[in-house]
Amino acid sequence: MSSHDIQQIEHETLRLWEHAFEPNPVPGEKFYLNVAYPYPSGAMHVGHGRTYIAPDVIARFQRMQGRTVLYPMAFHVTGAPVIGISRRIARNDPKAVALYRDLYRVPPDVLAQFTDPLAIVRYFSDEYERVMRACGISIDWRRRFTTVDPPYSRFIEWQWKHLGDEDHVIKGAHPVRYCPACDNPVGDHDLLEGEKAEILQFTLVMFRYHDALIPTATLRPETIYGVTNLWVNPDTIYVRTLVDGMPWIVSREAARKLALQDHTVEITGEVAGQELIDQVVSHPLCGEVPILPARFVEPDMASGIVMSVPAHAPFDYIALRDLQEEGIYAGIAPVPIISVPAYGDVPAKDAVERARIKNQDDPRMEALTQEVYSAEFATGRLYERYGGEPVRQARDTVAAMMTAEYGSIPMYEFDTRSVVCRCGGQVFVRILHDQWFLQYSDPAWKSQVIEHLDTMTLVPPEVRAEFERTVDWLKDWACTRKVGLGTRLPWDPAWLIEPLSDSTVYMAYYTIAHHLKRVSPDLLTPEVFDYIFLGKESPSLPDRETLDLMRREFLFWYPYDFRFSAKDLISNHLTFQLFHHVAIFPRSLLPRGMVVFGMGLLNGAKMSSSKGNVFLLEDAIREFGADTVRMFLVGSAEPWQDFDWRNELVASTRRQIDRFSSTIEELRMATGIPGDIDRWLASRLQGHIERMTGALDRFQTRQALQEAFFGIESDIRWYRRRLPAGSAGSSYLRALSSVWVRLLAPIIPFTCEHLWKSLGEDGLVSYAPWPVPDPSLGDAERELTEDLLARTVEDIESILKIIPLTPSAIIIYTAPAWKREIFVTVAAADNKGTVVKEIMKDTGMRRRGKEVPDTVRQCTTLIHKLPPHIISRLIQGMPDEELLFLNAAGFLEKEFGVPVTVRDAGESTHPKAVLALPFKPALVVE
RNA sequence: GCGAGGGUGUCUGAGCCUGGCCAAAAGAGCCGGACUUAAGAUCCGGUCACGAAGGUGUUCAUGGGUUCGAAUCCCAUCCCUCGCACCA
């Protein structure tokens, strides 16, 4: 078929479908599936395509089975990304302009409007709808909305009122990555450098120095007992400050950081690191210790001053040793306080000496430090005189004690140096206040989710472990923001609800979205939604009739049956939505299942718009046709596997569809009288129907395609081979065509809609009844004998292939009756060891002597090689092989072009004839 | 580093749970043949090695182990993908 024909068919079909998939509640079964809605900030590529096409295949399959199917779509617009994009467009940022103008091909006049963030989402939402329609995705577009539409905001307010009323939202402080230049928290996407930086909580240990305090930052407060000295960098100028009114000495960088972490900081003077050297400081838990110089101390790390525990910190140990090798500070010795099984008394010394470290500049020091810390954390224990606790507990105990009694406070710092914002400025840790959190840490809430998760269908089943881990691992989630698009928090309108938190129960909103478009948003009070979703009465509800309509429609669709999403959302969105559902909806309305998708690759590399490695879905449709795109995307891998888009592979998919079309066109012309081989074809078809249906029930789109496309195709190939010369097949092929077109309709609906019409059928194939296997057409006996014939043909072919002579005749020797008896006995025997003895009890058998055990052995080998379903069938009764081959002699002669004779091996003296076994005749080629 | 999932022939990818149907489905690619003025499409055959009889040998990330028998079970190692939080 030419590209033009395909476009013509697609165009016509789309007109038929315009309003074909707009379901309303009707009696009977429903099926509600939905997909995580897209954030429309760019054009769709083929990776997005599969996310919506695979569910569409399921939607169409369910619809043909007679269910009322809802597949809705909306657009997620809340958050900050489009705001950033619009700014970059406004600034004429070359990268942004290139992406939108060249890759996404946004027309210049439209691009000019992109300085308005809403213009971006409007443009791409429309594009999404257009392209999704062009893919044949059977969405009910009446329900489309965006998450900044006023009715949706009313809905979110209702949702959050519940979350708030039920104490799932708490207020607190929260350390975040923060860019002072932008005056904003920064996420991973906003960073030039240090994406993986984690925020660590250090404990500041307050040492007294005359009338001032010197805070040292540590991750291991329990080592305070082993402190022998402090380290300062002699080349650094430290500052004297008033922190919350108290005089502190810290690095200049630290002063700046503390100011972002809830402290008032006033710099009052400077003090050179050199000046501090050899001064003495004190702490109640370790007494008086001196300050020593060390080059490894970084002023930009935490407070810029470090406490030294040479017995347990390799850095401290080696820095001290370096000094002592210069002959100074000889009086200071490591003070061990922790016992670690795999190390000596002084673990740091042990480790340094084992690794033969020369000095503190050795590059292996980082790794060594990690090693000692891990060992102590895992297996270390404080000495009895320091409490005797395991390190992992002592750490918290000591920190709490120092906080309560010795003025310690936390200080936050990154675990990696150099965290840089996209604006180029350095990023710091800042404590945000009055931040609202969803309390996912709540054990009661978690256990409700786990309990419900147990009842859900998860596809593929392997993801269950990951969901369970995620629920277990989730901590409180900062759910409000200052910037971006979104709905304001009802009880604290200074905050916006964060984008992952306003998209958790919108699947319920879809069920009434089209009705809400006719209602004034002002009427949508929490009471109204309480009535619609929870059936809760309250006085003075407006327009009761409309509310009842919506209540009925919601109850018709909910709970949803399946939610589809890529696997990267397991650890946030997919799990969040379970938390929110269990918090708000009664048990009977909780989600039933989820299907998790793999990722998309393009020519083996990850698809990424920013790297330009994308193939736009619309281009793919134009170049190959929508059905080809669909069939490739759902047929090259199962939905949960990653798939790789390669144009040359897609091109061959296109040929397969063409082949299917022309085969159907040929088949429907056949008018012959159905014969024996038609019974075989019909029987096989029932199996394909059953297996394809099963595959789609399990969301195995690839498996389904293999079964229905290639499975049926190869049957037809064999069928045609078996037809007498000149025959084009029987009128049964017409019935087969009807089944075949319907089976493939969910996957390649455009082609099938067209073929359905050319078969003369009425109505849309999209609503045609799904084929059901007809047991009366099943003929296992016929399939078995055909299988034997095909195996025999293969055997003959492989013989012909290796012998260099031109055959003049083929003789088939079928196994004699007594061998069939043995075969059945062996196949049915539970104990293969005693089977020979059993058989030899028969006097007739005994007379055959050595032939019998030989045959038993051959049969055993053969039985192992045959599929179990064949064996169990053969036990019930061996086919009449002689009759089979006699009937097929004409076919075999046509195939091989030589006379074929069939004989009973028992009546022949040919040396090969003794090889004959049941289901494996001896063959002689002359 | 931690958590989850994976590594199969030229490629995509079945099989692995429940060990003998496995030289390992199916598709793609490639090679050869038929058809055609030719190309494409289509059809037929081949595609680990060896073989003048339907077989034999070696293979399923690597190295061990269990078993009469391992792609499948156990242990170790290496490699890949996703997630690790305020971001859609």
Q: Which residue is nearest to nucleotide B1 (CA to C1')?
A: A370
Report yes or no: A532 and A550 within 8 Å, Cβ to Cβ. Answer: yes
Closest nt by CA–C1' to A82: B88
Each residue of A272-316: pLDDT tens digit? 999 999 999 999 999 999 999 998 888 988 899 999 999 999 889
pLDDT at residue A469, rounded to an integer: 92
Length of chain A: 926
pLDDT at residue A369, rounded to an integer: 81
Residue A682 pLDDT level (bands cut at 50, 70, 90)? very high
Q: Please give the average per-residue pLDDT across A431-437, as a whole number.
A: 87
Beta bridge partners of A308: A229
Report yes or no: A926 and A811 within 8 Å, Cβ to Cβ. Answer: yes
Each residue of A375-426: pLDDT tens digit? 787 778 899 999 888 887 888 889 889 999 999 998 988 877 678 877 777 8
pLDDT at residue A157, rounded to an integer: 96
Residue A873 CA distance to nucleotide B54 C1' (Å): 24
Residue A601 CA distance to nucleotide B59 C1' (Å): 29
Closest nt by CA–C1' to A871: B21
Lowest mean pLDDT among A11-20, A380-389, A529-538, A576-585: A380-389
Each residue of A797-836: pLDDT tens digit? 888 888 877 888 899 999 998 888 888 888 877 666 667 7
Within 7 A of a protein CB, which nucleotides of strand B? Answer: 3-6, 12-14, 20-23, 25-29, 41-46, 51-54, 81-88
Query: 3-class SS at A900?
Result: strand
Residue A858 CA distance to nucleotide B33 C1' (Å): 38
Each residue of A850-865: pLDDT tens digit? 788 888 888 888 887 7
How many whole angstroms from its chain centre is CA A67?
27
Residue A868 CA distance to nucleotide B19 C1' (Å): 15
On the question of pLDDT at A491 being above 90, the answer is yes
pLDDT at residue A845, rounded to an integer: 83
Q: Which residue is nearest to nucleotide B81 (CA to C1')?
A: A642
Q: Which residue is nearest to nucleotide B82 (CA to C1')?
A: A568
Taking the CA atoms of chain A, what radius of gyration do you get in angstroms? Answer: 38
pLDDT at residue A17, rounded to an integer: 97
Mean pLDDT computed over every residue of chain A = 90
Q: Burial letters for A423-458: b for 16+ Cβ neighbours within 10 Å, e otherwise? A: eeebbbbbbbeebbbbbbebeebbebbeebbeebeb
Each residue of A495-517: pLDDT tens digit? 999 999 999 999 999 999 999 99
Other CB atoms within a 10 A radius of the CB of residue A254 amount to: 28
pLDDT at residue A829, rounded to an integer: 72
Closest nt by CA–C1' to A41: B88
Closest nt by CA–C1' to A465: B4
On the question of pLDDT at A452 being above 80, the answer is yes
Query: 3-class SS at A209?
Result: strand
The angle that helices A46-64 and A626-635 make with each other, rounded to 10 degrees, is 90
Residue A43 CA distance to nucleotide B80 C1' (Å): 29
Q: Which residue is nearest to nucleotide B25 (CA to C1')?
A: A706
Interatomic CA distance for residues A356 and A344, integer angstroms: 16
Closest nt by CA–C1' to A461: B5
Q: Please give the average per-residue pLDDT across A687-694, as a whole number.
A: 94
Report yes or no: A590 and A558 within 8 Å, Cβ to Cβ. Answer: no
How many whole angstroms from its chain centre is CA A716?
37
Each residue of A614-660: pLDDT tens digit? 899 999 999 999 999 999 999 989 999 999 998 888 989 999 999 99
Q: Please give the average per-residue pLDDT across A442-465, as a whole number.
A: 93
Residue A515 CA distance to nucleotide B87 C1' (Å): 32
Q: Which residues 6+ apart lie within 8 Å of A799 measured at CB?
A: A923, A925
pLDDT at residue A444, rounded to an integer: 95
Query: 3-class SS at A550?
Result: helix
pLDDT at residue A690, rounded to an integer: 94
Report yes or no: A500 and A572 within 8 Å, Cβ to Cβ. Answer: yes
Each residue of A587-623: pLDDT tens digit? 999 999 999 999 888 888 888 877 778 899 999 999 9
A139 to A268, A302, A413: CA distances (angstroms): 67, 54, 48
Closest listed residue to residue A702, CA positions, set A615, A597, A606 = A597
Each residue of A97-138: pLDDT tens digit? 999 999 999 999 999 999 999 999 999 999 999 999 999 999
ipTM of the complex: 0.94
Interatomic CA distance for residues A159 and A161, integer angstroms: 5
Q: Please give the average per-residue pLDDT across A559-575, as a whole number.
A: 95
Interatomic CA distance for residues A736 and A753, integer angstroms: 16
Q: Please give the average per-residue pLDDT across A212-241, as a whole number.
A: 93
Lowest mean pLDDT among A135-149, A667-681, A817-831: A817-831
Each residue of A168-224: pLDDT tens digit? 999 988 888 888 877 777 777 677 777 677 788 889 999 999 999 999 999 889 999
Interatomic CA distance for residues A541 and A554, integer angstroms: 18
Residue A770 CA distance to nucleotide B20 C1' (Å): 39
On the question of pLDDT at A89 being above 70, the answer is yes
pLDDT at residue A289, rounded to an integer: 94
Q: Please give the average per-residue pLDDT across A325-349, as a whole number.
A: 88
Query: What are the strands, taking DSSP E only, across A51-168?
Result: 68-70
Closest nt by CA–C1' to A803: B52
On the question of pLDDT at A242 being above 80, the answer is yes
Residue A833 CA distance to nucleotide B65 C1' (Å): 28
pLDDT at residue A560, rounded to an integer: 97
The H-assigned helical ranges of A612-711 are 617-624, 626-635, 647-667, 676-697, 701-705
Closest nt by CA–C1' to A440: B85
pLDDT at residue A896, rounded to an integer: 87
Closest listed residue to residue A554, CA positions, set A504, A499, A505 = A505
Closest nt by CA–C1' to A868: B21
pLDDT at residue A249, rounded to an integer: 95
Strand pairing class (A237-243; A246-251): antiparallel
Residue A795 CA distance to nucleotide B53 C1' (Å): 9
Residue A901 CA distance to nucleotide B66 C1' (Å): 51
Residue A601 CA distance to nucleotide B80 C1' (Å): 14
Strand pairing class (A229-232; A287-293): parallel
Closest nt by CA–C1' to A652: B28
Closest listed residue to residue A628, CA positions, set A799, A747, A467 = A747
Structure tokens at A40: 């429309």
Amino acid at A904: D
Q: Using a pLDDT cut of 70, give the percent of chain A over it.
A: 99
pLDDT at residue A417, rounded to an integer: 67
